[in-house]
Amino acid sequence: MAGLMYGATGKRKTAVARVRLTPGEGTIIVNGQSMRDYFQRETLFQMVRTPLVETGTEARYDVVAKIVGGGKSGQAGALRHGIARALVEADASLRTDLKRAGYLSRDARMVERKKAGLKKARKRPQFSKR
């Protein structure tokens, strides 16, 4: 059981989280720091832990994650998505609970890109009659 490891990728906006799940006592390491140090807001901390709490596996697995891109909120969403996918890889019977809670679907909302000739994504230059 020492070599067991489950991996998954979670995404949200422009953030990508590579997650490794190993049997352990429930520590979460993000980019080499503890999760409390990395995500200082309590809401983000709770959001990341929800897949583990929902399935009752928060004390069974250690999580090591590498996150790139986006802001802290998007990174937390990507990490939650990655943890949920890794849990399904570890135990397929958890899939129904995680799917029902909405943790397996990727939140695809992204910032709209700026178009040529416009000031922002949709803002047009001011019209001048003369």
- Residue 69 is part of a domain; what is its CATH number? 3.30.230.10
Instruction: Let me know if residue 93 belongs to a domain.
Output: yes
Domain assignment present for 116: no
| Residue 84 to residue 79: CA distance in whole angstroms | 9
**pLDDT tens column, 58-82:** 999 999 999 999 999 999 999 999 9
Total count of domains within the chain: 1
Report if residue 60 sits inside a domain.
Answer: yes
Residue 103 and residue 51 in contact, taking contact as beta carbons nearer than 8 Å: yes
Residue 122 lies in a domain: no
Q: Is residue 111 in some structural domain? A: no
**CA of residue 113 relative to chain centroid, distance:** 22
In a domain, 75, yes or no: yes
Query: Using one digit for the tens of pLDDT, what is the confidence trace for 32-57?
Result: 999 999 999 999 999 999 999 999 99
Rounded CA separation 8/75 (Å)? 15
Tell me the C-alpha distance between 89 and 7, whole Å: 8
Q: Is residue 73 in a domain?
A: yes
pLDDT tens across 83-102, in order? 999 999 999 999 999 999 99
Domain that holds residue 80: 6-101
Flag whether 121 is in a domain: no
